[in-house]
Amino acid sequence: MARVMYLDCFSGIAGDMFLAALIDAGLPVEELRRALGSLGLECDLEVTRVLRAGIRATHVRVVSTSASPVRPVRQDEPDGHDHRHGHDDAQDHHHGHHHHHGEGHGHAHGHGHAHDEHHAHGHHHGHEHHSLAEIEERIDRSSLSAAGKARATGLFRRLAEAEAAIHDMPLERVHLHEVGALDSIVDVVGAVHAMEWLGIEDVVSSPLNVGGGRVEIAHGRFPVPAPATLRLLGGVPVYDGGPDTELVTPTGALLASGYARAFGALPAMVPERIGYGAGTKDLGRVPNVLRVVIGERVSRQAPAAGPGGDSEEDVVVRIECEIDDMNPQIFGAVGDRLLEAGALDVFLTPVHMKKGRPGTLLTVLAPERLRASLCDRIFRETTTIGLRFDRVGRETLARRWVEVQIAGGPVRIKVASRGDEVLNAAPEFEDCLRVATATGRPVKTVVAEAVEAWAAARDQQDR
């Protein structure tokens, strides 16, 4: 069985909530301090226990080492408010802090959000920021594993690339207020180390509740989620489930999209660890927490016997129809929309229909819970007047994503294994195409470099 973590983002996600949830799930604080100490940053962690809508959770804040000594883990006030962060009651109807993207820095830069947000960390780190190059250098000198260094570096580069794209400027000219703030560095690097320490091989996330309303940033008043956050959420299912505030921050979006290989319902698993990571604000009856569930995947039905024994088996629904009277150009768009709606696979097969007419067999594989919605979409998007479906078993290899850094940017590698044996490692083609386009190198060269970088990192980790 493969180890999996489920991110339950019913109240959004922020970087500090992610890290706090992993601490709540069992990561030792001193182990985290040791790893973060290798970065050479003048800061420490303050970890407290709080209540959010009656749920006991862990809250983390970053404090500079020049501040008062770090308190030990303790029980916070019964109402869950952290009164030390300096917000008064008149601010409670706002979001919670002044910053560039909702991470609670309390900055008054030109990049800062002119609003308060409920995830406010209350981090006391002054106005010190670090360039992307400096962050990468610190990560390279750190005690993270080779794979961890590649992952952390790739995440920061993605964050910087999102900023560069939003502001239409070269990467080296991006103002790294969000990327370079101490708490963002701690949140990202701490999360990378925590995931390795906990031995999490696979991540599934719920769709992300982004909140609602509008947010003031230096460039104007924008709807939630903020521009950089939304860019980092490309390809991720999101929704506005309230309350009327910003629930997903850029660092939270970065970690969710960077780690989750799939988005949907809780997978079949045996829970072993459960963690609750709290944002600073208490939202009343809405628990301002991120819940993580860590455990071992299990089959939805009895596993088939076979070598290796660690493949995954479940039941999916197969939906099919033959079409002979639709413009072939439409099939591509239909396939894309079905995949966006949650289909596991969509493929086309040429067939001969009655009266010798050539046609196309449309086949869709999907979780059974999505059958009705996908059938409705097929009827609306195609010319078919009838569908058939049946339930089929499938067996799949355990899969996880590993990010490697090559010249031109990060590339994700999908690693498939059975038991302890890796059977396949394939670079994500879209990542390779992006790097090839940016650097002018052939795509096949980028693919080869990505595989080579993954193999080198794996060899170093095995030593």
Q: What are the pLDDT digits (tens) for 134-170?
A: 888 889 989 888 888 988 998 988 888 887 787 777 7
Is residue 4 packed enough to be buried (19+ CB in 10 Å), middle (13-18) or exposed (0-12)? buried
pLDDT at 2: 63
Contacts (Cβ under 8 Å, ≥6 apart) of 94 = 115, 116, 117
pLDDT at 93: 33
pLDDT at 66: 54
Query: Which residue from 124, 149, 128 is spatially nearest to 138, judged by alpha carbons?
Result: 149
Q: Do residues 251 and 261 touch, judged by C-beta distance below 8 A?
A: no
Number of H helices, E strands in the chain: 12, 18
What is the spatial distance between Cα 53 and Cα 249, in angstroms, rounded to a whole number?
Answer: 21
Its pTM stands at 0.57
Is residue 352 packed enough to be buried (19+ CB in 10 Å), middle (13-18) or exposed (0-12)? exposed
Q: Do residues 293 and 205 touch, judged by C-beta distance below 8 A?
A: no
pLDDT at 167: 75
Q: Write out the chain's pLDDT in tens, 463 residues.
A: 468 999 999 999 999 999 999 999 999 999 999 999 888 887 889 999 999 998 999 999 988 775 444 444 433 433 333 333 333 333 333 333 333 333 433 333 333 333 333 444 334 434 455 677 888 888 998 988 888 898 899 898 888 888 778 777 777 666 555 444 778 889 999 999 999 999 887 899 999 999 888 877 666 678 888 888 899 998 889 999 878 888 999 899 999 999 998 888 898 889 999 999 999 888 878 899 999 999 988 755 444 434 444 455 567 889 999 999 999 999 999 999 999 888 999 999 999 988 888 999 999 999 888 888 899 999 999 999 999 988 888 888 888 889 999 999 999 999 998 887 899 999 999 999 999 999 999 999 999 999 999 999 888 877 6
What is the spatial distance between Cα 214 and Cα 8, in angstroms, rounded to a whole number?
Answer: 24
Model confidence over 287-326: pLDDT tens digits?
A: 999 999 999 887 554 444 344 444 555 678 899 999 999 9
Query: Which residue from 208, 285, 216 is spatially nearest to 247, judged by alpha carbons?
Result: 208
